[in-house]
């Protein structure tokens, strides 16, 4: 059971990292990708799930990329309001 649980955590960590990368690649146009990148690490912290070193790195990267994409979204929104 422990191995199966660890596999799910690994897949969710990879998912969060991929969503973070996609959100930055789209320059924050779709904030849902950034929110998904932030959601996984938040849920892991709330549930007190132990992460190994690789999973922890992926979650930290996902958090950073998610925040960057949401900041980009706000900047784009403000620019759209100014220039339109």
Supply the range of the domain harboring residue 57. 2-83
Each residue of 24-61: pLDDT tens digit?
A: 999 889 999 999 999 999 999 999 999 999 999 999 99
With a cut of 70, say whether residue 2 has pLDDT above it.
no
**Overall domain count for the chain:** 1
What whole-number distance in Å separates Cα of residue 34 and Cα of residue 38?
6
Nearest to 40 by CA among 73, 9, 6, 5: 9
* Residue 4's pLDDT band (cuts 50, 70, 90): low
Each residue of 9-20: pLDDT tens digit?
A: 999 999 999 999
With a cut of 90, say whether residue 84 has pLDDT above it.
no
Nearest to 3 by CA among 52, 41, 43: 52
CA dihedral 7, 11, 14, 20 (to 10 degrees): -140
Whether the full predicted model's pTM is greater than 0.75, yes or no, is: yes
């Amino acid at each position: 059971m422990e191995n199966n649980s660890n596999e799910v955590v690994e897949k969710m960590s990879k998912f969060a990292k991929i969503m973070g990368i996609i959100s930055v690649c789209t320059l924050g146009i779709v904030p849902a990708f950034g929110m998904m990148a932030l959601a996984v690490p938040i849920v892991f912290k709330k549930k007190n799930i132990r992460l190994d070193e690789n999973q922890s790195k992926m979650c930290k990267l996902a958090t950073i990329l998610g925040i960057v994409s949401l900041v980009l979204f706000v900047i784009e929104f403000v620019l759209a309001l100014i220039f339109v």
